[in-house]
Structure 1
Amino acid sequence: MAELLKKMSEINAVSGNENDIRNLIIAEIKDNVDDITVDTMGNVIAYKKGSDSGKKIAVAVNMDEPGFIISGVTEKGYLKFKAVGNIDPRKIISKKVVIGADKIKGVIGMKAIHLQTKSERENVVAVSKLFIDIGAKDKEDAEKYVKLGDYVTFDTEFMQIGSNVKGKALDRSGICTSLIDAIEKEYKYDTYMCFLVQREVGARGAKIVSHRINADVILSVSSAETADMYGCESNAGVKLGDGAVVNFEDRTIIADKEITEKMIKAAKKAKIKVQPQVLMPQTSDGGAMQSGADGAICLSSSVPCRYSHSPVSVMSLDDINSMTEYIRLFLNKIGEMI
């Protein structure tokens, strides 16, 4: 698992630029499914035929990550950029990045503190005030290496720390790894394993896939920010290492309560570690998939993640494994529950 997770994390897959991660996913799953479709947006829909075609079951994860896009070059050779997706600008100053297909190295910079105004020191600096330094002499020199529209991601080395891992984009890498592992098993019903694009800019891929497959029931899998770190006022909330999160509700979906309760009960009986949660602050692709086409029964689950949408995040390998087991349980038991 850790080896695949490392490959996932170190691939660059900013929303709209998912080619490399898509190729890796297809290579990993092609021998364990009956058909793979890549739609016009770039979503991967892997079909696995079951012994009963009476129901269509789907599991959905996103494969993109937030990042940046080059929007200009100054006369002095600094690169201007805009955010793609939701990233806190307080977390990105002085961080290493890679740019474009050639993976040009750079660092996100801003004026040194003794050159800043009082307002700049006391307030969150806007992305428009930041720049990327690639060591270019001037604009002409910089344009030899980068161009307008090049994507930018954090340059973070993946590392295992005991039963945890740290790296970039673990929020999408962990859930993709869980689904890939779950695909290896056989299931009763026709199943669609969906790896979605452009979640970080508005669940765009999910909207297309929901119409294409028109599933009867969907499990939407995302990541969940943990509340077990320094500075959180309460011990309540998601904890790293306590298993897969089962959501009754997030900001985009109200999950089917009766089936969610049945899944929690079944998970505990199967000794799968789960964390039931209500009113999660995160969003997911679930809302777009639930309301697409003819509508669908939708459940929501997440893998705990610390520091998501930042240069480095932390996940538990045990939680990723719990999610794999939970997906397998869903695919084996959901036919009895609907």
Structure 2
Amino acid sequence: MILRELSEAIGLSGAEDDVRALIVSHICDHVDDLQVDTIGNLLAVRRGTGQSNLRIMAAAHMDEVGMIVMGVDGDGFLRFDQIGGLDDRILPGLRVLVGPDRIPGVVGWKPIHLSTDDNTVPKKRLRIDIGATSKASAEAAVKPGDHIAFDSPFVELGPTVRGKAFDDRAGCASLIALIQGERFPFDLYVAFTVQEEVGTRGAQIAAQRFEPDAAFVLETTACHDLPQDPNEPDQTTITRLGGGPAITVMDHSMVSDPRLVRHLTRVAEAEGIPHQFRSPLHAGGTDAGIIHLTGIGVPSVVVANPCRYIHGPNSIMNLADFENQSRLLRAAWMALTPAVLER
């Protein structure tokens, strides 16, 4: 399963090389042009059937959240900081892989028997234990700047799957499936982007290069559909697992182009494809937030896989939602004409 390969690959922001190589192996025989730009984006063009002269961009980001080694204490424990959005509350006891040699480690914390603090322990007070017995032995194994990834194997759980980096390896897997299928009426300009988790940097460069007429971003988004306390003020679920791919109407970085939202909705209803709408007031942003501002402006929309425990070591995603993401986009692209974008 491509999703398994992508999930278990390691590629934190700024070091997406292994993920990029894996994607190349799956799409190189299905595209008409393939190159890597100066920042590390994987850019491809798949020529269409010639029925439409639209230039359509599709983007999914390759990078994942994680941590970075900042130094070594005198006793051989590693100091670290985050890459991308991490919650300090998930860190204690976390299993990790450190550096290019994937050295196993654990985020250490005070035993519960000795702890009297009910507050979250900030990451600056946590350390990673790789089994080193001295500063010298730790420095022989790792160095400042080494990346630290979640140690999370991919597991199938019936209708759902568990693993790391579904944000956004699931979007990458869906985009690969779309590239491997039949050609679209228009030329498809594909960007597997870098550094989304630290500021949507790769997407800006890719969109400037492509100058598309419209852009579709394949993403993974938060899902909070667990039983909740009715006395809590925030009952937002954001999305629901099993409800189908989520069409974003608005997030903190953009308002999706209403014409593209309507087009996706009409196609989903006509084709009987399950779908839902992402809660608009939830925080967060995607590559679409910078793509839609590029050049003279690019009509953009996001279609995302709902995912529980996003930006954590063990996210859970529904396989039907995942499959329906590419199904919805394929149907929508086949029906996409210049008339859809007319004002």
Q: Aligned partners of 1:66, 1:306: CA distance in 2, in Å?
A: 15
Q: In structure 1, what residue type is equivalent to 2:127?
A: F
Asked if 1:151 is matched to 2:122, the reply is no
For the 8 Å contact 1:82–1:127, the answer to whether it is kept is yes
- Secondary structure of the 1:230 match is coil
For 2:57, the aligned partner's letter is A
1:122 partner SS: coil
Corresponding residue number in structure 1 for 2:10: 12
Q: Tell whether the 8 Å contact from 2:208 to 2:294 is kept in structure 1 after alignment.
A: yes
CA deviation profile, 1:186-232 (whole Å, cap 9, x unmatched): 11111111111101101111111111111110011211211311226
Q: CA RMSD in A?
A: 1.5
Query: Helix, strand or coil: the match of 1:82?
Result: strand
Q: Deviations over 1:94-139 (max 9, x none)?
A: 01100111110100012223444x5xx1222111011100111100
Which secondary structure state, in structure 1, belongs to the residue aligned with residue 217 of structure 2?
Answer: strand
SS of the residue 1:191 aligns to: strand
Q: Contact conserved, 2:236 with 2:279, CA < 8 A, in 1?
A: no
* In 1, Cα distance between equivalents of 2:330 and 2:315: 26
Change (3 A) 1:31 1:76: same
Structure 1 residues 41, 189: closer, same or farther in 2, change over 3 A?
Answer: same
Q: CA deviation at 1:173?
A: 1.6
Q: Provide the residue aligned with 1:167 in structure 2.
A: 163
Is the aligned partner of 1:181 residue 2:148? no
Find out whether 1:267 has 2:275 as its counterpart. no
2:97 touches 2:151 (CA, 8 Å); kept in 1? yes
Relative to 1, partners in 2 of residues 1:278 and 1:159: Cα closer, same or farther, differing over 3 Å? closer
What SS is found at the alignment partner of 2:335? helix
* Match in the other structure for 1:126: 122
Q: Which residue of 1 aligns with 2:131?
A: 135
Once the two structures are TM-superposed, the CA of residue 235 in structure 1 deviates from its matched residue by 7.8
1:89-238 alignment to 2 at 5 Å?
Answer: 89-116=88-115, 118=116, 121-185=117-181, 186-231=183-228, 233=230, 234=235, 237-238=238-239
Superposed displacement of residue 145, structure 1: 1.1
Contact 1:43–1:195 (CA<8 Å) still a contact in 2? yes
Structure-2 change in CA distance of 1:214 and 1:102 (3 Å)? same
Q: CA deviation at 1:259?
A: 2.9
Consecutive aligned runs of 4 or more in structure 1 exceeding 3 Å deviation: 113-116, 232-237
For residues 291-337 of structure 1, give each alpha carbon's deviation from its aligned partner in whole angstroms, at most 9, with x where no partner exists. Answer: 01221111121110000001110001111100011221232122241
Matched with 2:309 is: 307
SS in structure 2 of the partner of residue 287 of structure 1: helix
Paired residues of 1:247 and 1:280 also in contact (CA < 8 A): no
Partners of 2:263 and 2:332 within 8 A in 1 = no
Give the distance between the partners of 1:219 and 1:203, measured in 2 at CA.
15
Per the alignment, residue 321 of structure 2 pairs with 319
Contact 2:260 2:300 in 1 (8 A): no
Is this contact kept in 1: 2:68–2:80, CA < 8 A?
yes
Contact 2:222 2:239 in 1 (8 A): yes
| C-alpha contact 1:264 1:276 (8 A) present in aligned 2 | no
Gap change, CA 1:258 and 1:232, over 3 Å in 2: farther
Query: So what's the TM-score if we normalise by structure 1?
Result: 0.95
Q: Is the 8 A contact 1:272 1:322 kept in 2?
A: yes
SS in 1 for 2:336: helix
Question: Quick check: 1:303–1:319 contact (8 Å CA) kept in 2?
Answer: yes
Q: Which residue of 2 aligns with 1:34?
A: 32
Deviation string 1:70-90 (CA, Å, 9 cap, x unpaired) is: 000011000110100111111
Query: Using the alignment, how far apart are the partners of 1:297 and 1:196 within structure 2?
Result: 18
Unaligned segments of structure 2, at least 5 residues: none
Q: How many residues align?
A: 333
Q: Deviations over 1:7-56 (max 9, x none)?
A: 11111111111000000011111111101121111111110011336221
Q: Give SS of 1:113's match.
A: coil
Cα distance between partner residues in 2 of 1:164 and 1:280: 27
| 1:46 partner amino acid | A
